Structure 1
Amino acid sequence: MARIIVSENITLDGVSTDPTGEEGTTHGGWFTRIDDADRAAWAAAEEDEAMHVDAVLMGRRSYDYFAPRWADRPGSWAERFNSLPKYVLTSSPDPLAWRNSTAVSGDLTEVAAKLKQEVDGDIVVYASGSLIPTLIKHDLVDELRLIVFPVLAGAGRAMLADSGSIRPLRLIESHPIGTNLTHVTYRPA
């Protein structure tokens, strides 16, 4: 049986939206506020994670963001990310051109529960702000991995705040990434 792992980059005040500023929000661009050494350490941590997961679950907007940025990117991280099975929750009839992508539709909780039964290993959810709160509300997330950026966005959506009721978590691991980032891993208590 697979585990569903949510892996997110967030600000210190919990914002996950518009990290690169491409959406044009007032709080956007917080991801770019780190130095080159921290960015390299972040990339190494993300690559390591990609090497140890077995599939990706994402929504259509996340697919539309990631696919053009990764499909032709060189390097071992991109090769691994491109080779992973990607399950895209979508109702759009538009085809999925990114290698190893499969459209899935229907109720997210049913889709996720089915994937947990059918996939061996870990299924990671990156970004996908509309999926994550629903997965958490229905107790389908087995692990939260957060990379906390030393930035206060001051505004923006904190997707983990939309998870319904109080959900106690247990700290599994915490360590620095580079000089200024913190990686924390939690599991349901």
Structure 2
Amino acid sequence: MRELVYTGFMSLDGVVDSPGGTEEGHRSGGWVVKDLEFVPEAWSLKAEELADTTALLFGRRSYEAFAPFWRESEDHAAYKELPKYVVSTTLADDALVDGWGPTTILRSSDEVAELKKGEGGGIFIHGSAELARRLSDAGLIDRYNLLVFPVLLGGGKSLFSTADKDKQMLRLRESEVYPNGIVKMIYEVR
């Protein structure tokens, strides 16, 4: 069974909305790069993930935001030819971005569950907070790779659902604190 990993930047109050910039919609967008000393080792998790990623999974909105940019980005060149999956009930095949490797549209969480049953390595979810909440509620996420930033945003998209459901236990696999206040936390879902 393939491992489904959510990877992302999160504020201390659990917001994952618009870490890269205001064009993503949050009034405090770009909070990952603003007002924080750059410490290279705090970003090492992203390089480590490249070695483990065999496929990418996105919700429609994150796909539409990332695909055109990542297709041209040297920092994301290793992702170019990886298989990509977009979970959407509305995205049309002709809306897929050309020149960014093989991309398949999945229409439901059940199709994600089927994908996980296949052969291959880790499937990584970037962004896609709404999709991550749905997949978590369905018990499909196996691991969370989080970089938690020392900022309180007070509102925005949250990674975790507020649905009334049974508790879900996690096991801390790895953690590290960096001098600029970023905390790396890798949790496996038990």
Q: Which amino acid aligns with 1:133?
A: R
Structure 1 residues 55 and 155, CA gap change in structure 2 (3 angstroms): same
Q: Residues of 2 paired with 1:143 and 1:162: CA distance?
A: 19
Corresponding residue of 1:114: 114
CA distance in 2, matches of 1:66, 1:17: 14
Residue aligned with 2:23, SS: coil
In 1, the alpha carbon distance for the partners of 2:59 and 2:102 equals: 12
Aligned partner of 2:41 in structure 1 is 41
Q: Which amino acid aligns with 1:180?
A: G
Structure 1 Cα separation of the partners of residues 54 and 143 of structure 2? 15
Shift of 1:47: 2.3
How far the C-alpha of 1:188 sits from its partner, in A, is 1.9
**1:78 counterpart = 2:45:** no
Q: Distance in 2 between matches of 1:167 and 1:71?
A: 36
Conservation of the 8 A alpha-carbon contact between 2:12 and 2:148: yes
So what's the TM-score if we normalise by structure 2?
A: 0.86
Residue 155 of structure 2 corresponds to residue 161 of structure 1: no
Aligned to 1:103: 104
Say if 1:88 and 1:101, in contact at 8 Å, map to a contact too. Answer: no
Q: Output the aligned Cα RMSD.
A: 2.0
Q: What SS class does the counterpart of residue 114 from structure 2 fall into?
A: helix
Task: State the AA in 2 paired with 1:88.
Answer: V
Aligned to 1:92: 91
Distance in 2 between the 1:63 and 1:131 partners?
11
Query: 2:141 is paired with a residue of what secondary structure?
Result: coil
Does residue 62 of structure 2 align to residue 59 of structure 1? Answer: no
Q: Which digits, 9 at most, give the CA deviation of each residue in 1:66-112, with x for residues without a partner?
A: 112111122xx42212122111123322233242232323222x111
- Offset, 1:160: 1.0
CA displacement 1:22-66 (0-9 Å, x = unmatched): 23433433212254523x434442122122211111111111111
Give, in angstroms, the shift of residue 180 of structure 1.
Answer: 2.2
Runs of 4+ aligned structure 1 residues displaced above 4 Å come to: none
CA distance in 1, matches of 2:111, 2:42: 30
Counterpart of 1:68 in structure 2: which amino acid?
A: P
Q: Is the 8 A contact 1:11 1:152 kept in 2?
A: yes
Q: Distance in 1 between matches of 2:163 and 2:104?
A: 25
Taking the aligned partners of 1:70 and 1:43, their CA distance within structure 2 comes to 17
In the alignment, structure 1 segments of 5+ residues that lack a partner are: none
User: Any idea what the Cα deviations from partners look like across 1:109-159, whole Å, max 9, x if unmatched?
Assistant: x11111112241110111111210111111111111111011111222212
Equivalent position amino acid for 1:15 in 2: V
Question: Percent of aligned positions with the same letter in both sequences?
Answer: 29
Shift of 1:15: 0.5
3-state SS of 2:26 partner: coil
Instruction: Identify unmatched segments of 5+ residues in structure 2.
Output: none
What CA distance in whole angstroms lies between the structure 2 residues aligned with 1:177 and 1:119? 36
TM-score where L is the length of structure 1: 0.87
Residue 171 of structure 1 corresponds to 172
